[in-house]
Structures are given as C-alpha cells and as structure tokens.
Amino acid sequence: MRSLFISKISPNSAFLLSNFRFRIPIAALRSLTFSSFHRSPPPMPPRMAMVSHVDSDGPLARRLWNKCRRESIFSMYTPFCVCLACGTLDVDTFRHVVDQDVHFLKAFAQAYELAAECADDDDAKHSINELRKAVMVDLKRHASFVKEWAAEGGKESPINPATVKYTDFVLATAFGKIEGDKGLGNLATPFERTKLAAYTLGAITPCMRLYAYLATEFKGALGADHGNHLYKTWIENYASKDFEESAARTEDILEKLSATLTGEELDTIEKLYHQAMKLEQEFYCSQTVSQKTVVPLIKDHNPATDRLVLFSDFDLTCTVVDSSAILAEIAMVRAPKPDQTQPDDQITRMSSADLRNTWGVISRQYTEEYEECIDKITPPATEEFKYEDLCTALEQLSDFEKRANNRVVESGVLKGLNFEDIRRAGERLIIQDGCFNFFRTATKSENLNVGVHILSYCWCADLIRSSFNSGGLLTQVTIHANEFAFEEAVSTGDLVRKVESPVDKVNAFRKILENYGNDRKNLTVYIGDSIGDLLCLLEADVGIVVGTSSSLRRLATQFGVSFVPLYPSVVRKQKSLTEETECSWKGLSGVLYTVNSWAEIHAFVLGCEI
C-alpha cells in the first residue's frame, strides 16, 4: 500500500483513517487539509499564507500582505533584485533605481497630505502627518544618497514608465479616483472622507512592507558575508529597525482607518493593495540588467537546441491532501452496509464496517513496518555524499513498498470503487496554490521546448488525470502512475503496477530522458516532497523540495545530502558568476533546494514573463 497511502501518514493519521466514521460526502472532500496527514504544512512566514480578510484573524495589513505572496516572491527573484542582493548589480542600474525612489517619495508625501486632510479623527490625522514628516526626512536623507551615487555631471535618470504607473495610481487613489467605487461622491460626509484616507493608505502600505521584506531577505541571504557589499548601506537602511517601525506604523494606521468599513469597502482596499503589489512587481521586472544572471533558469533557453524537462510528484507536492486518503474515503462512503444485499452481477465488496476495520489494520501495520524499515536502512551520518549507498538502501525500501501494496490488493479494500466517483473526486482535489499556473505557463509558452511529467505512487492514475483535466492541463502533461483494474467502470481491487517505489520512480525518470534522445540539451527539474522522490531529486539538474518532511531530511542527510534554501543559493551563484563563467546546475551534486511555495518555483524557473 506504499508510501502511496500511509508512508506519508503518521501513526496519528493512520488512526484517523481507521477510526474516523467517514460520513463526509464526496462533495465535502475540499474540507480535508494538511492537518489530517503525516506532514504538517510547510512553515510559512507571513508572506507565504494565502488568506483573505473575510476568513482570517489578525491585522488587516498582515492579511493583505499574506495574500500577495506571489508578487513579493516574483519581485525578489527578478534579475535586478538578485544582483542587488549579491552586490554585483551594475552601478548605472542601481543609480537609475535610486533616482526613481525620489519620485516615489514625493508621491507618497502628497498622498499622505491628502489622506490627513480626509481623516476626521485627530489621532489618525496626527499619525498620517507624522508619516508625511518621515517621508520628508527620507527625501532629505535620500538627497545625500543620490548625490553619493550620482552619475558624472549630475545627470538624473529619466523616469521609468513603471514608476509613473505606480505614482499615478497612488495619487489617483488619494484624489478619490478609484475604479469600481461609486460611493465616494463629493466626499460630503466625514465617513466618506475617512474611507478615502483608508484607501490611500491601502495603496501606499504595500510599498513600505515590500521594501522592508526584500532588504531583510537580501540580508538573510548574505548572512555574515556582507561586510564589503557594494550596496550595504541600501540594504541596511531598508532592513533596519527604524524602517520596519515606519512600515509597521503605516500598517497600524491602515488598521485604525479601516475599523468601521464594510466588507465591500474592505474588498476595495484589498484590490488597491493587490494592484499596488502588482505595480511594484512590474517595477522590479522592468529594470534592465545588462550583466549575465542566473535567473530565470530558462533565460538562455533556445527551443532549437534546448529542452526543459519538468518532473513532479503529485501527492502533497501538487495536492494539499494525499490521494490515498481520498480513495479510502470513496471506498468507505460507497461500501455496502452490513445488512445490505449485494447484487449477484456486481463485484462483491466488504461491508462498510469490515472495510473500515481492514483499513485500520493495514494502516497500523504499514506505519509500524515503515518506521522499522527506515530505521534499518539509515546509516551513521557522513559528510560525504554517498549516492550509491543511498540507492542500495532505497532498494530495501522499494521491496517493502511492493510487499505493502500486495497486502492492499489481497485485502480487497480497493474493490468496487466507481470510476465516476474517482473522476469527480479528482476534479475536486485541492491543488497547491500556483502549481497548475506554473505548468500552464510553461507549456503554453511558444518560447520554450518543454516536457512535463508527473511521477506518482498514486494507486489510480485516473484520479490524477481528472485533476489535471480540471485545470485544463491533461494534454500538456504525461502521467506515470499505477492504474486501477476496472470491469464496467468498477474497480476489481487489482492494480496495474507501474510506479511503486523510489527505484521505480528513478527508473521511470531515466527512461523518459532516454526516450527524448540526444537531439537537444536537456535541463531537468524535479519537484518533490518525500523519500519516494529522493533519487529523482538528486539525479535531476535541479532538485526542488517542497514541504518539510522530517523523514526525508533525516534519511537523506545521513547519506551526505544537503538541503539549502533556494533563494540564498541563487544569490551565491549570482555572486560567483562572471562574464567568463557559466552557471551550472548539475545532477548528483548532493544538494537539494528547498522552497516554501510554488510561486518560488515559478519565479526561479520561468521568471516574471517568458
């Protein structure tokens, strides 16, 4: 039954599946979350949680920031930000952006002035005026900064069209020109005026938070290695306690001004906030970087000579829940009651009570034996990467997985599942935010020669097909997984076995590449989350780990595998890149890259635009 069902499920989760009464109808499968399963969701910093003001707790600005995680990550992975982070950014490019900051600050000062005039609360008015004073101080401080970095002759850079878009947007908001809001009128009442002040703060706050976030990420990526950084002053200014406090004050005022707003008005603030973040992302994407860069990964891709091959696991990599739990749910919901007579012309099935008990026994047995197997194959720690030893160890795990699947088939728990139930469940599977968009963007690009392959232990490939079909991707991806055997659209309980183990996965990985041939240079990316993906992750040119599987890290590190966050790795590679060198991403390096979201994968591999 594999890491298919319980290898990704803890003893507590096995208990859940064996004791839960499974009264949830198929239509309610959406309510299942990571919390039911082996690995808790990846620990996400505030920017990583996709939430909305209508269903989350916490300050409004924090919720809005969380919802714009994609824009913040895409900004961070732009060539401009990566080069700035590592200190190799061309000076002329940096000067240009420094000059743009003046236009931003002037627009903010004017917008704050207008917002203060609208605020009817003396405290709010005072707070906004203090923000304006801080901007004026920043303008004076920035003048000396601009002078320090000014080009010879003191010639200023022309204003960037992306700068104009953002500053025009902020000022239009401050003047009450807000698309879709017909309730502002002539600002006749104090409430209407206060609402406009809140809208203005909603358009400014994202810029403040994004600058603080980016500088903090840059500083974190550099670690102790920033003493001689060319742009150290810029980074330390925006990563400073003072700037963080300034950003937090802006957010606090937004919170106070929004306290009495209706749900519809809060939606308007959300739209303004999101629009501001998109304009910020556009600003960073628009900066021209003349030097060689390591991002995006496909920057030098030539469809005539290159091929990008994307591989991904499915369960808990693409999905929020494990498909095995979904199949168990279907089986138990559709199982006959103990006193129910089954037609002679249909496949005989266990009663719901017997099925539930059998699942419980299999689950507990699998969990216990899986942990024993992992303990048995885990060697003493070594700093040297020992791939062959790891392969040998995972052959033992592969044998175990196949024996476990034998038990599942022999138990009969997979008998009688209806194809239509499976199809509908696949359509309703909750997919990780950004996953399908990544594959859709890659496969629809005319500038890429790309192949996408899903390698999964899933017992039923039709569940995966249905899921990708619901995302409009079925014809763009090739799915490699096990199949249910069906008779007249009802499962017989047997499996057509194709991918049952880590060894099966890596053999399929190699076979796919072999079938592509040598007519083009292949760049391979594998995205996974568990021990079953380990060999493929290591053999790919870039192995990306999503989630926080403790068993994966525990086993892999004992064989000398290193797990490093992707962004700091990109910054380090950029720092070492010169016009004479090439950035190489090679398999079997013993290094795997960790991410918190599919947005990171998308930004790294494909960039803002392709």
Q: Is 206 helix (H, G, I), strand (E, B) or coil?
A: helix
Cis peptide before 296 (omega within 30 of 0): yes
Q: Burial, 147: exposed, middle or buried (Cβ in 10 Å; 0-12, 13-18, 19+)?
A: exposed
Answer whether 112's CB lies under 8 Å from 131's CB.
yes
Distance in angstroms (rounded) separating the CA atoms of residues 205 and 359 = 52
Whether 515 and 566 have beta carbons less than 8 Å apart is answered as no
Q: Cβ–Cβ contacts within 10 Å for residue 33, how many? A: 12
Phi-psi label, residue 566: left if phi above 0, alpha if psi -120 to 50, beta otherwise: alpha
**Is 507 in a helix, a strand, or coil?**
helix
Burial readout 108-131 (b: 16 or more C-beta within 10 A, e: otherwise): bbbbbebbbebbeeeebbebbbeb
Which tokens sit at 485? 């055997």
What is d(CA 586, CA 480) in angstroms, rounded to the nearest whole number? 24
Instruction: Give the bridge partners for 491, in sequence order.
Output: 486
192 is catalytic: no
Q: Are 540 and 311 in contact (CB under 8 A)?
A: yes
Terminal-residue alpha carbon distance, the chain? 41
CA-CA-CA-CA torsion sign (21, 27, 29, 30): negative
Do residues 320 and 432 touch, judged by C-beta distance below 8 A?
yes
Query: Of 216, 238, 235, 239, whose CA–CA distance to 227 is shortest?
Result: 235
- The 3-class secondary structure across 558-606, one letter per residue, is HCCCEEEEHHHHHHHHHHHCCCCCCCCCCCCCCEEEEECCHHHHHHHHC
* Catalytic, out of 68, 86, 118, 207: 207
* Number of Cβ atoms within 10 Å of the Cβ of 338: 10
As given in the structure block, the two tokens for residue 104 are 């931003």
Query: Is 280 in the active site?
Result: yes
The residue written with tokens 């693409």 in the block is 318
CA 228 to CA 226: how far, in whole Å?
Answer: 6
Residue among 414, 507, 510 nearest 462 (CA)? 414
Of 71, 251, 270, 280, which one is the catalytic site residue?
280
Cβ neighbour number for residue 161 with a 10 Å cutoff:
10
Residue 84 CB contacts under 8 Å (≥ 6 apart), including other chains:
94, 218, 231, 234
- Separation CA 287–CA 608 (nearest Å): 12
Task: Specify the DSSP element, H or E, that contains 548.
Answer: none
Q: What angle do CA 316, 321, 323 make, to 5 degrees?
A: 90
What is the distance between the alpha carbons of residues 275 and 342, in angstroms, rounded to a whole number? 58
Query: Which residues are part of the catalytic machinery?
Result: 207, 280
